């Protein structure tokens, strides 16, 4: 495919046509919010409507429950938008295209957008945030509220329905624990990649399994059912061939995809596979505990309730050997107030709900002032 230069005009060409056809009808655009979740594998953008109006019944409920959030109008998917992986220009074009596509599919244009919450991996420093905010500002009219966050924040919000409070544990190919307090403090643990010890991640579990096969083969470790199971799955005839297989493609996700075989072997009673999963449980739980302790999410006596949002393939396996359940058990021993949540919406919706929440509170404040 020929690489096209970044051409801003082309991306938003649909708006002129749409506004032209809208002028002919009695159509009036609905106010919308865009939520984006940009991971290292794909980028998702959802468009949700915002049609909340303050009434005498809800104006004083600033600290009360928020209304049920609206459903998704449109959803668009694109590739990686982590600027560390694909570079600034490509990341920016991907994000802009996926937002344009979500708006096009929902029959909206930028003039209908009230807020954008962009949660992307690779946003670790305020400098990353400012850089992204400044080009978002060039795309959207000045009244649009813009929020830029790390993608973990969208995952947390997908479990808390947009409230920034509690801890999220993500365990897919990688792993990270991220926590927020109601007064805006935050902390993270792990998420530093496989070289720097993300041992409970899908990559970590699978790499340990491959290592166990090599060690059994060369006499350093005990025999394990992982050998036959994984060699068969990869269509290899000897553990020696694992070396070539492992290094021919450096993708972490390719190795992490072997986790279900480790779970199967553990369920069938293999001691080595069991040990690997038990170690992973300890690692994942220790990330959450470190965040909870640092932020004091558990309160002074350690028993306060806090949301614990669980996200990612490793925690959702839902097999007989249930990694997520074991992690929760391990955390609950130290922090009985942890309230586990398996989100029912995706992180992009979580991102949209963050902005949605903000706008609801803003409406209430404005109504009180007026």
Residues in contact with a copy of itself by the rule CB under 8 A = 84, 124-125, 187-190, 192-193, 195-197, 207-208, 210-211, 214-215, 218-220, 240, 242-243, 246-247, 250, 255, 286-287, 290-291, 293-294
Smallest gap from residue 25 Cβ to a copy of itself (A) = 52
Residue burial 185-195, b: 16+ Cβ < 10 Å; e: rest? ebbbbbbeebe
Smallest gap from residue 160 Cβ to a copy of itself (A) = 22
Kindly tell me which of 37 and 283 has the beta carbon lying closer to a copy of itself.
283
Kindly tell me which of 38 and 343 has the beta carbon lying closer to a copy of itself.
38
Number of neighbouring beta carbons within 10 Å of residue 278: 15
Kindly tell me which of 256 and 360 has the beta carbon lying closer to a copy of itself.
256
Cβ pair 118, 92 in contact under 8 A:
no
Q: Which residues 6+ apart lie within 8 Å of 308 measured at CB?
A: 166, 167, 168, 169, 288, 328, 331, 338, 339, 340, 341
Kindly tell me which of 1 and 196 has the beta carbon lying closer to a copy of itself.
196
Q: Which two structure tokens, joined as six digits, stand for 23? A: 């002028």
Smallest gap from residue 214 Cβ to a copy of itself (A) = 5
Smallest gap from residue 173 Cβ to a copy of itself (A) = 14
Would you give the distance in Å from CA 249 to the centre of its chain?
A: 25
Smallest gap from residue 307 Cβ to a copy of itself (A) = 19
Kindly tell me which of 192 and 339 has the beta carbon lying closer to a copy of itself.
192
Number of neighbouring beta carbons within 10 Å of residue 124: 12
Kindly tell me which of 124 and 329 has the beta carbon lying closer to a copy of itself.
124
In 136-290, the DSSP E strands lie at 145-149, 166-171, 175-180, 186-190
Q: Which residues 6+ apart lie within 8 Å of 97 measured at CB?
A: 11, 78
Smallest gap from residue 21 Cβ to a copy of itself (A) = 48
Kindly tell me which of 49 and 179 has the beta carbon lying closer to a copy of itself.
179
C-alpha to C-alpha distance for 92 and 47, rounded to whole angstroms: 19
Find, among 320, 342, 353, 311, the residue nearest to 39 by Cα: 311
- For residue 137, the SS3 value is helix
Q: Which two structure tokens, joined as six digits, stand for 169? A: 């544990």
Smallest gap from residue 290 Cβ to a copy of itself (A) = 3
């Amino acid at each position: 495919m020929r690489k096209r230069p970044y051409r801003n005009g082309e991306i938003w060409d649909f708006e002129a046509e749409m506004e032209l056809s809208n002028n002919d009808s009695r159509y009036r655009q609905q106010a919308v919010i865009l939520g984006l979740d940009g991971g290292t594998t794909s980028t998702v953008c959802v468009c949700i409507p915002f049609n909340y109006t303050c009434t005498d019944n809800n104006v004083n409920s600033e600290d009360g429950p928020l209304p049920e959030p609206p459903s998704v109008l449109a959803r668009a998917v694109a590739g990686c938008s982590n600027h560390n992986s694909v570079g600034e220009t490509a990341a920016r074009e991907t994000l802009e295209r996926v937002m344009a596509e979500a708006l096009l599919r929902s029959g909206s244009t930028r003039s209908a957008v009230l807020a954008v919450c962009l949660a992307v991996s690779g946003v670790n420093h305020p400098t990353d945030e400012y850089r992204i905010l400044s080009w978002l500002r060039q795309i959207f009219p000045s009244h649009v509220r813009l929020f830029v966050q790390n993608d973990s924040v969208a995952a947390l919000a997908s479990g808390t329905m947009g409230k920034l409070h509690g801890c999220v544990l993500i365990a897919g190919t990688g792993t990270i624990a991220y926590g927020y307090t109601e007064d805006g403090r935050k902390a993270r643990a792990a998420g530093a990649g496989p070289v720097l010890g993300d041992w409970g991640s899908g990559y970590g579990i699978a790499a340990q399994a491959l290592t166990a096969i090599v060690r059994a083969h060369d006499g350093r470790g005990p025999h394990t059912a992982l050998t036959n199971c994984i060699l068969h799955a990869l269509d290899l005839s000897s553990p020696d061939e694992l070396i070539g297989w492992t290094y021919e493609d450096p993708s972490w996700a390719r190795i992490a995809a072997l986790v279900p075989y480790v779970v199967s072997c553990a369920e069938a009673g293999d001691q080595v596979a069991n040990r690997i999963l038990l170690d992973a449980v300890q690692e994942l739980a220790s990330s959450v505990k470190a965040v909870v302790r640092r932020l004091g999410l558990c309160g002074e006596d350690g028993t306060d309730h806090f949301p614990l949002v669980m996200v990612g393939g490793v925690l959702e396996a839902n097999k007989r050997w249930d990694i997520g359940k074991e992690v929760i058990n391990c955390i609950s021993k130290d922090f009985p107030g942890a309230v586990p949540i398996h989100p029912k919406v995706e992180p992009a919706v979580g991102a949209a709900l963050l902005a949605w929440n903000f706008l609801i509170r803003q409406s209430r404040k404005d109504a009180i002032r007026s």
